[in-house]
Structure 1
Amino acid sequence: MPCERKPMRYGHSEGHTDVCFDDEGKCVVTCGSDGDVRIWESLDDDDPKSINVGEKVYSVALKVSANFGILFSSDFIVKIVEVVDSSQQKTLRGHDAPILSVALDPSDEFLASSSCDGSVAVWSIESQTQVAQWQILQKSSDVSNAKSLCRLAWQPRSGKLLAVPVDLTIQLYDRNTWTHVSTLSDDLISQVVNVVVWSPCGKFLAAGTVGGNLLVWDVEAKLCIERQKHEKGFTVCGMAWHPSGGRIAYTDTEGCLGLLEGVPSSSSTVQSTKVSRSSSHDDDDDRGLDEGMSDSRSPVKKPIMEEDDDDDDLMPATGRPRNRGSFLDDDDNSQGMSCVKLDGVPEEDGSSAILPAVGPAVSRPVYEGPMPTQPQRAFQPGSTPVHLMHRFMVWNSVGIVRGYNDDQDNAIDVEFHDTAIHHAMHLTNTLGHTMADLSQEAVLLACEGTEELASKIQCLHFSCWDTHKDWIVDLPKGEDVRTLCLGQGWAAVATSALMVRLFSVGGVQKEIFSLPGAVVCMAGHGEQLLIVYHRGTGFDGDQALGIQLLQLGHKRRQVIHGEPLPLSRKSYLAWMGFTAEGTPCCIDSEGVVRMLNRTLGNMWTPVCNTRDSCKSKSDHYWVVGVHENPQQLRCIPCKGARYPPTLPRPAVAVLPFNLPYCQTTTEKGQMEEQYWRSVLFQNHYGFLSSSGYEIDSEGQSRAEKEQQELLMKMFALSCKLEREFRCVELAEIMTHSVVTLAIRYASRSRRMALAQRLSELALEKASQIQEEEQEEEEPAYQRLICSSFEEMKLLLNFVFQEYLINIFKLQVSGAGKSSSSPAGQPRTTNVLDSMTMSNRKPAPLGSTSKQGKAPVLKPLAPKPKSKTQATLLQMSASKGNSKKLEDSQSEAEKVKPAPAATPPASAENIENRKPKTGFQLWLEENRKSILADNPDFEEMDVIKEGMGRFRTLSAEERLNWTERAKGDSDPKKRKREDEEGQVDEQTESDEGRTKKKKPLDTSAKLSAFAFNKE
């Protein structure tokens, strides 16, 4: 089974780096050009022990039973110093250039060295003489100019073979004869071999090359059994094999540390031999050994809820991918014994002392199914791990909260980015708060409970206008705070009881609701509350998280109802929050930034990957804020760590956004990415506008203009590539005005077929716009809601006066006329009662009327009228056979009988009978001047402008216009009464001539407001 290459992690600054294991394999020791020697407990150790040497360190080795210390430098000399008595030194002279490397054989008898003079020499330590020398390397003037470090290696325990890297191969020399006995090579090697290292049992040999190749050979078979490649192709300059086998640590010239797990070792071969030999004795024993074999080769079952003491990472170590095929046990005594037994036997000839391989025993396969992932622990966005003595409790767009917990001080510092909000604060952390959030109104702190004390919530409401600026709440016994956040006028706390508790910023307890899983984090912005929790158990390193988005305004509602939160494979949530404009945003441990796309059904769109800006695999970016306008991702670069230190104050960097579109190296891909990124980052304008916030209209216009320019550029590029169908697809996204520009461009490019199709598309867009305007056209009184309050008040005032005048006039005229209708026909004289009822219960603005009920409201724009068009009086009369209307009809007949030949009043008569107000009369005479000044005005705009001008008149002038209106209406009234006795034909012809000669006045247009309720 192939071995697994772990991701590289930062170890030292850029430069030469070396690595080794201690004798027991419990720790890894590295050294680098930064002058530090670091001791790592594992590759996942984020806090290694560091020893500063002060100068560049080129090599490191640990051996408990060592008798000698070997020193070499650029003075061409090798010195051997006894560990017990440092005054006893031996000097080896003979090289003519700086020394590249040295290697001491296991029996402390010989020393091998390589030099820039191109030679490899073997020295007798006792006699301090050179016993062998080979001119096999390329010469160089200095170590820095050498093509290879030529790290030499003796075969463990027996020291029978000496491995020397020579160009693209590894040459093996026999200890007894100092002759070249074998050569190891592989077709994968394209650059010189830099370093070699033996396995503890001496059966395998590993090598690293300048090109970043990692290879393992079976020395006996001269077969390359493992090939790996450095993830970035950097030079491998240090390698060390774990004492128990199975793992190889390596370093590169960029200062990073890596690990190969599951490297083949001789233990499996020895176990297979034992099983084969025991198979003929006892079937039960064979079955027991076979089961042991299967367990050693199958993945080791781990407890699901395994404890993890490493709190430096949000994700437990058990959540990282494990090698499930080559697990080695350090307590397996058979492995160490086999190495001693095989390598301790002296060999007379060049043959290997390893026993001949026996066919491996067939093990029963064991299927364990998908491995569950340990759930991610709850965390506070913008904070560093709790176990750090100096840490950031929160860093957001408002300020920074630092926590100090050492022998000298246990305090909290609050710092604001804008000191105009509040001055900096220093708080004594007597309650042991570990969580914090900061807003422009308050600081919210919380601590977990103990056996004696309950979990507490403390709020410092510094924006409060009274003298009491803080409050503390104790949670019930056994319930601890897991995460918290602040919003505009509210605070939220998620607890271990799977509940979310809401508070006002002043300390009033509000709603409480339960979560369907353990909370992971929360974030607040304005009236929005974002909650992330565990939806269930993830598998194979993936987390199963759900998200809820709530609006906590006057109309509280849930926007996102627990949908899954998308994350990268085998990653966890690292940050969750809102952009400065209020759009939810999240970042996972792989550095992928995702933003909520409200126009795409609340889907999550990846907008950036911080890993693309990292120089090393172990580098990270710690996010502190996201902005949509301008498009900025504000974060802190962390070299070799996930979190920044508190001192010195870290510098904030700005990363650009880049949507992961295909072929972004081409002009087409770049413009597509820019267009859709602009569309995505413009969505917040619509959300803020719908929420009642003021928006930057100029910024929105600039964004729309940029989008249309990009579409036009893509259109021109498609025309150049003769992609006319693609041109039409782009035109469908354009606005109507830009489509016209595209038609002109296509015509000038002599693409008449394309221009014709674009013309048809333009007509379709124009018709769609007209239909949408007609569908969205609101009644006049409804459009008044959008106008200013004063204009609406004035217009509705005179409309209501007009209603009253019409009502009383209709009552008087109805009482003074005799009806010619049959006795059973209803007539409407009780219109005032209907108006009162409709005033008490107004109809919904968006409701549509049914046939036979309240009339459909007409728009203000005048339309041609037919003789059957109903007015308020007629439609009220058409409501049929109700008893109330019949009674009113009989009462009206008693007052004044009407001739039987008198027809019902037509719409034209009703229009002409309406008295005019002073404003209506003034508007009729001044309409032409208003339209002359504003030729683009519609009827509603003319009325608004007229109201504004009419208000500027003096009180006397307005009174004069009112008197003139009354004087004009009286003669018309008398004239209509005189004309009531004429014949029907003459009346209809007069009404027709009046309709043709006189346009509709303002009162007639405003009669569209009239509506009634049954």
Structure 2
Amino acid sequence: MPFKRSLMRYAHSAGHTHCCYTADGERIITSGSDGDIRIWQGIDDDDPNSECIGEFVLCIAHYGDRLLASTDLNTVQAYTYPERNRDGTEFTFTAPVTTIKVDSKFIAAGSEDTVIKVVPVDKSEEFFELTGHEGPILKIDTSPKGLLASSSGDGTIRIWDLKERKEIKVIKGFETASSFYNAKTFVTPSFEPTKGSHLAYVQGKQVQVLETVNWSKTVTLKDDKISSNYTVCSFSPCGKYIAAGTQTAEISVWEVRSGDVIKGETKASEAHRITALDWNPANNGEFAYTDNTGQLGTIIDCYNIDENILEIGIDENGSVDNDVDFGDIQFDKDDEDNENCISLERLKNETLGLAKSDDDDLLERKSNRSDSVAEVRIPNTSTAMQSAFQSSSTPAHLEHRYMVWNNVGIVKAHTDGDESTIGVEFHDASVHHDIHISNYLNHTMAALSSSVLALACDTPSKLVCIALSAGSREWSISLPDCEEIIAIGASEKLVAIATDVNNLRVFSVMGTQRELICLPGPVVAVAGHGDSIMAAFHAGSPINGYQNISIMLMQAIGLSVRCREFRIGLTPCTKLTWLGFSDRGSPVCNDTMGTVRMYNLKGNYWTIVCDMNKHIKNASDTFFIVDVSEHNQIVRAILCRGGAYPMTTPKPLVTELPMQIPLCDMESDKSELEESLLRNASLLIDNSEANLREIAIKLFAIACRSENEVRAKELVEMIASPNLLSIAIKYANKLGRIHLSAKLTELLPQMEEQEQLKEKRCNEIEMEAINLLQSSPMNASLMLAQKDKSSSLTIAPKPILSSQGKRNPFKRGGGGAAKLISNPLSHLTDKAIGFNDSQSQGSESLNGLHPLENDETINNENIENESQNLVSTTTPPKFMDWYKEHKEELQSQNPDAIAAELTKIAMRQFKALQSATKSIKRRAEDDEGAANKLTKYN
């Protein structure tokens, strides 16, 4: 019976189109250059289910209840079927994925980057790569024997042993192609599906069939009716037939054993190149095909289905052929399900009442378990855990690579045979001159800051640091034998290394061991800034493609350490590619989707500040992040064309990408202003308050022009700035919005109240900081030491003045004594309570080590005594000394006050005493000045 050809119908827009059947053979799935996936009930379905998953889809595959598709993001994305919900990412490549193949054991995919990736279906092992092709992968197929055949644009077919993961055969002599889109033929290797005994592929106007035992040619299939070269071919599910399509949409079908051509409609109404061909797995003699114009067609009645069934395992006499291989299913001669046979074992058990044997129970349990597994399929949720990496570095296996590239400089490693060197280039020559050293320890990791260059290697696990601010002084330290360094980070004050036993070891720049912190999980990356160290680690196993990563942020203050932990935000089914700080100290991360996120330390949340994919033109291009400037609102990165890492020569250019929060409808002026408003409010930007007022006025004007007074009032309430309110009232009056102006005027008392509450809250925070410093054991000991030091200086005898006119270091107004006074807690309390250096410098004359002159002008003796014992009014440790001295007196005066209230009372009295002291000093200076004038006058 000749095969029949259906009419071609539109499936997708013009371009490469692919098709496949579902596992049950009831539906056809197609994909095309329009980025859509369509599911057809049949060739006559006028309303297929459609889903857009990207810009283009080159290939698809279906198995079980999963659908695999190549995306424009160079990934193989999994979806549930038929719901088409995301179900993880199977593979990620550096170029578009061109072919996917799934069998009972393996999932394989090939890409334009010449790499083939394979993973077991049950995910019992991690994926592995097959490399060796020198051109884009065109098509792949797998064999029941554990073989994989791949055709490439380099003009070869390569046969791989998946168990040994190596190449075993190369077939040459095919047309070459520099790109998948330029390939005129896909060669399309196809294994015989039942036993894998033969391999077929197209070559010109022929289809060659090889034996897989010795790779000798078995038969060459030809069809005299065709006029162009074949592009694709495929074995039927029964392995008896082969179908092939040509560059002009001609179809040929052969019976393999005899080599005869099956008669049918070979010619097509339109001559377009066939891009895909897939047999129906129901083994009904039907297959579907697509061409490069987005058309879909089917071929039916290629063979008689009844004839095919009879030849499976029945001989001429009607008995079952005992030599048929039924795989793992073995049949017992005395099967209990056979009612026409007599089983002696069953008669014994029934007569003697014997129980079933353990083997029977085991078989029954296995049967029940198999039935349950067949009914309910547990979705595969395993995902590979991301390994540790160094931010802004290229892979360690490269001969010439970047060990780190950041805002300070570039550290490059060069390997030439047995010689290995490391070169450091600084962006600012004032920081340090360039460095060139031999890499005799084979360092693979580096971290660079303005004060230190840190180098590390995993084996032997040793840390070597060069202190740039101390004349390039070098120090090193070796780790215990049980630990290996897997990540390193450095800041201006600290150096941190993470080990394989989840330890985070922190050192000072000069080599003092500061901390040993146990991380809750395997480390992913480490970064440093100022007195802070940030470590990313796995908080649990990945689930459904989601990496379960958390961040530990450590801040070293004196001898104390404060840590906080928070989860990291990543795009679904992506990995972390960069971790670091902005120039203002905000944590920043980037994932494989090119989404840059910044952590708001005040609000404790992540926000997207840049989508780097919007700045690339080709899907295979990526950005290599170098630095993030929160001050200038830019992301400095290197554009990598067709790859993920920059080349060392020539030196690439750094691109500045502007930060932009991806709000909705960014084409409108309103959304642009809202984005700028949100960015100025959430990021640490100079003059942010002035910018907020300016942007808010523009948004207020847009709302007024849009006749939306409610939104205008809402905006003013949200900003809650008295200055903005006054400007908004004037603008509303100018536009004649009297009703809006009246409503805004009513908000003035409310905003004043909010300002008062805000000021009160600031005072409470100040008190909390004071209590925190007071309650700290470290600070208490330091304060006690400072007090002892002050007491010792007070009782020391005055130096003998010489007659030679030497400078008196204790003379009032001299700079020597003021500089000798040190405050060991100034670097803590200035930040915690809000005092600045100018205030401290302006009030040095009130220090207890410098008694006030002209004490006879003071009328109140008690105030005089208090002022002599008073410490600096602007330095919190001095207040604490005064508070410690008068604490018992304050407690007796206020017996019912708690600790916080007692501190507030003490602060009020201290400030009153401060004001009195200043006024007394001012009067004394005035009296002294008047006396001097009077003396001159006389």
TM-score normalised by structure 2 residue count = 0.57
In 1, Cα distance between equivalents of 2:886 and 2:715: 36
| Cα pair 2:594 2:613 within 8 Å, conserved | yes
Query: Aligned ranges for residues 30-179 of structure 1 at < 5 Å?
Result: 38=114, 40=116, 42=118, 48-51=131-134, 60=155, 62=157, 102-105=204-207, 131-132=224-225, 151=231, 153=233, 163=245, 176=261, 178-179=263-264
Write out per-residue CA displacement over residues 847-884 of structure 1, whole angstroms, 9 at most, x where no aligned residue.
Answer: 997895789858999xxxxxxxxx999xxxxxxxxxxx
Aligned-residue offset at 1:577: 0.6
| Cα pair 2:117 2:129 within 8 Å, conserved | no
What corresponds to 1:196 in structure 2?
276
| Cα pair 1:530 1:549 within 8 Å, conserved | yes
What corresponds to 2:745 in structure 1?
759
In 1, Cα distance between equivalents of 2:742 and 2:303: 75
Aligned-residue offset at 1:419: 3.2
Aligned pair partner of 2:492 in 484, 488, 499 = 488
Write out per-residue CA displacement over residues 185-226 of structure 1, whole angstroms, 9 at most, x where no aligned residue.
Answer: 9xxxxx977413345998664544546789998877999xxx
Change (3 A) 1:844 1:2: same
In 2, Cα distance between equivalents of 1:16 and 1:586: 25
What corresponds to 1:680 in structure 2?
682
Paired residue type of 1:533: F
In 2, Cα distance between equivalents of 1:400 and 1:49: 33
Aligned-residue offset at 1:153: 4.3
Change (3 A) 1:794 1:589: same
| Cα pair 1:455 1:475 within 8 Å, conserved | yes
What corresponds to 1:735 in structure 2?
721
SS at match of 1:413: strand
Paired residue type of 2:555: Q
Aligned-residue offset at 1:383: 1.9
SS at match of 2:883: coil
What corresponds to 1:824 in structure 2?
none
Query: Aligned ranges for residues 816-831 of structure 1 at < 5 Å?
Result: none
Aligned-residue offset at 1:5: 2.4
Paired residue type of 1:711: A
What corresponds to 1:718 in structure 2?
703
Aligned pair partner of 1:458 in 452, 464, 469 = 464
What corresponds to 1:535 in structure 2?
539
Aligned-residue offset at 1:533: 1.9
Change (3 A) 1:642 1:31: closer
SS at match of 2:584: coil
In 2, Cα distance between equivalents of 1:547 and 1:784: 31
What corresponds to 2:404 in structure 1?
394
1:180 aligns with 2:220: no
Aligned pair partner of 1:551 in 529, 537, 555 = 555
What corresponds to 2:641 in structure 1?
639
Paired residue type of 1:659: I
In 2, Cα distance between equivalents of 1:783 and 1:958: 40
In 1, Cα distance between equivalents of 2:635 and 2:655: 8
1:4 aligns with 2:67: yes
In 1, Cα distance between equivalents of 2:935 and 2:501: 72
What corresponds to 2:735 in structure 1?
749
In 2, Cα distance between equivalents of 1:66 and 1:789: 80
In 1, Cα distance between equivalents of 2:515 and 2:653: 40
1:444 aligns with 2:428: no
Aligned pair partner of 2:843 in 792, 801, 818 = 792
Change (3 A) 1:287 1:472: closer
1:523 aligns with 2:527: yes
Change (3 A) 1:846 1:532: farther
Paired residue type of 1:459: C
Aligned-residue offset at 1:655: 2.3
SS at match of 1:536: coil
Aligned-residue offset at 1:595: 0.5
Write out per-residue CA displacement over residues 349-401 of structure 1, whole angstroms, 9 at most, x where no aligned residue.
Answer: xxxxxxxxxxxx98644665774544332222222233333332222111222
Aligned-residue offset at 1:180: 1.6
What corresponds to 2:932 in structure 1?
959
1:580 aligns with 2:583: yes
SS at match of 2:663: coil
| Cα pair 1:491 1:502 within 8 Å, conserved | yes
| Residue segments in structure 2 that go unaligned for 5+ positions in a row | 1-63, 76-92, 120-126, 137-151, 160-168, 178-183, 185-201, 211-218, 306-324, 340-355, 768-832, 872-877, 895-904
SS at match of 2:477: strand
| Cα pair 1:519 1:531 within 8 Å, conserved | yes
Aligned pair partner of 2:572 in 565, 569, 573 = 569
Structure index of larger Rg: 1
Aligned-residue offset at 1:530: 1.0
Query: Aligned ranges for residues 409-448 of structure 1 at < 5 Å?
Result: 409-448=419-458
What corresponds to 1:843 in structure 2?
883
| Cα pair 1:103 1:152 within 8 Å, conserved | no
In 2, Cα distance between equivalents of 1:411 and 1:594: 35
- RMSD of Structure 2 on Structure 1 (CA): 5.9
Aligned-residue offset at 1:739: 1.9
Query: Aligned ranges for residues 203-214 of structure 1 at < 5 Å?
Result: 205=287, 207-210=289-292
SS at match of 1:757: helix
What corresponds to 1:649 in structure 2?
651
| Cα pair 2:527 2:581 within 8 Å, conserved | yes
**How high is the sequence identity, in percent, across the aligned residues?**
25
Paired residue type of 1:521: A
SS at match of 1:49: coil
| Cα pair 2:275 2:289 within 8 Å, conserved | yes
Aligned-residue offset at 1:417: 2.3
Change (3 A) 1:211 1:845: farther
In 1, Cα distance between equivalents of 2:561 and 2:431: 31
Change (3 A) 1:286 1:209: farther
Query: Aligned ranges for residues 568-647 of structure 1 at < 5 Å?
Result: 568-600=571-603, 602-647=604-649
SS at match of 2:693: helix
| Residue segments in structure 1 that go unaligned for 5+ positions in a row | 79-99, 109-123, 135-142, 144-148, 186-190, 224-268, 296-360, 686-699, 812-829, 862-870, 874-910, 923-954, 968-1014
| Cα pair 1:493 1:500 within 8 Å, conserved | yes
Write out per-residue CA displacement over residues 506-541 of structure 1, whole angstroms, 9 at most, x where no aligned residue.
Answer: 223333332232322211111111122222333223
Change (3 A) 1:495 1:915: closer
Change (3 A) 1:748 1:433: same
Paired residue type of 2:395: P
Aligned pair partner of 1:502 in 484, 501, 506 = 506
Write out per-residue CA displacement over residues 115-136 of structure 1, whole angstroms, 9 at most, x where no aligned residue.
Answer: xxxxxxxxx999x9x94368xx
In 2, Cα distance between equivalents of 1:556 and 1:736: 41
Change (3 A) 1:802 1:155: closer
What corresponds to 1:258 in structure 2?
none
Aligned-residue offset at 1:757: 0.9
Higher strand proportion: 2
What corresponds to 1:945 in structure 2?
none
In 1, Cα distance between equivalents of 2:926 and 2:301: 108
Change (3 A) 1:280 1:131: same
Change (3 A) 1:727 1:462: closer
Change (3 A) 1:774 1:514: closer
SS at match of 1:476: coil
In 2, Cα distance between equivalents of 1:28 and 1:364: 24
In 2, Cα distance between equivalents of 1:374 and 1:577: 23
Aligned-residue offset at 1:294: 8.1
Write out per-residue CA displacement over residues 584-612 of structure 1, whole angstroms, 9 at most, x where no aligned residue.
Answer: 11112332211111231x22112223334
Change (3 A) 1:594 1:68: closer
In 1, Cα distance between equivalents of 2:417 and 2:207: 49
| Cα pair 1:28 1:42 within 8 Å, conserved | yes
In 1, Cα distance between equivalents of 2:834 and 2:421: 58
Q: Give the paired residue count.
A: 660
